[in-house]
Amino acid sequence: MRTNRSSQERGSRRAWVALALFAAAGCRSATPAPPPPQAESVKPGINERFLSDDLDVDNYVGIFEGESREIAVEHAAIAKTLELQPGMDVADIGAGTGLFLEDLAGAVGDTGKLYAVDISPGFIEHLRERTSAAGLSNVELVLCTERSAELAPRSVDVAFVCDTYHHFEYPAETLYSLFRAVRPNGRLVVVDFERIPGVTSDWLMEHVRADKQTFRAEIEASGFVFEDEIEVEGLAENYVLRFRRPR
């Protein structure tokens, strides 16, 4: 009897080990492997001015939040496309001067959290002052790098990238960091400029490195699944794409 019980126990242990390995393999297959480091930036120097020690933040407040910018005019409608609920955690990637600060922090409420992420120390300091002045206790500031959003794995329900995807110098690496940060079944919402020859302004054609289809393909290659393109009344220069991280 001892021999039979021992055999049964060994068989049971082997079954549990096999099941654990199978489950682990399934989890690994749902997360793409880290991409190889990109040797060169896809848009060298595009963020250089934001890294300056003498960044004129007030000037950028006027540029980013002025009435001539359709994103600023339609910020509330854009924020609604994220479908945020109280208690959710959301990351604003490239939060800049804080155009969406109150919209997003208000939507997730006191039980949720907004990660305001930016590559610019000057903007981070401005966001710190703006957050304090507005009395927002559910905002965490994150200084990112050119290769990573610097968010913890599975820390957010929604990652929001508004007019900053074209500022990703190493998109494959940054997207990998976002895929890791978004929880399973969570979303990535990207707003960026249309780039249509003969329609888009010369300045935007030069500033934005690729069109909507190229950006969508890059994001899908990182593991996100395209859901839909959302129409926002008032947007003509910009589009809104929504993706989901699969389980």
Q: Are 156 and 115 in contact (CB under 8 A)?
A: yes
Q: If you ran DSSP here, which 8-state letter would residue 76 be given?
A: H
Counting beta carbons within 10 angstroms of the beta carbon of residue 88, is it exposed (0 to 12), middle (13 to 18) or buried (19 or more)?
A: buried
pLDDT surpasses 50 at 237:
yes
The total number of residues shown for the chain amounts to 247
Q: What is the pTM of this model?
A: 0.87
**In this predicted structure, what is the pLDDT of residue 169?**
98
**Residue 97 CA: distances (Å) to CA of 42, 64, 133, 162, 235:** 24, 7, 14, 12, 20
- Read off the pLDDT of residues 67-95 as tens digits, 9 standing for 90 and up: 999 999 999 999 999 999 999 999 999 99
Structure confidence at residue 207 as a pLDDT band (50, 70, 90): very high
- Read off the pLDDT of residues 120-173 as tens digits, 9 standing for 90 and up: 999 999 999 999 999 999 999 999 999 999 999 999 999 999 999 999 999 999
Q: Which residue has the higher pLDDT, 112 or 30?
A: 112
Nearest to 86, CA basis, from 59, 51, 110: 110
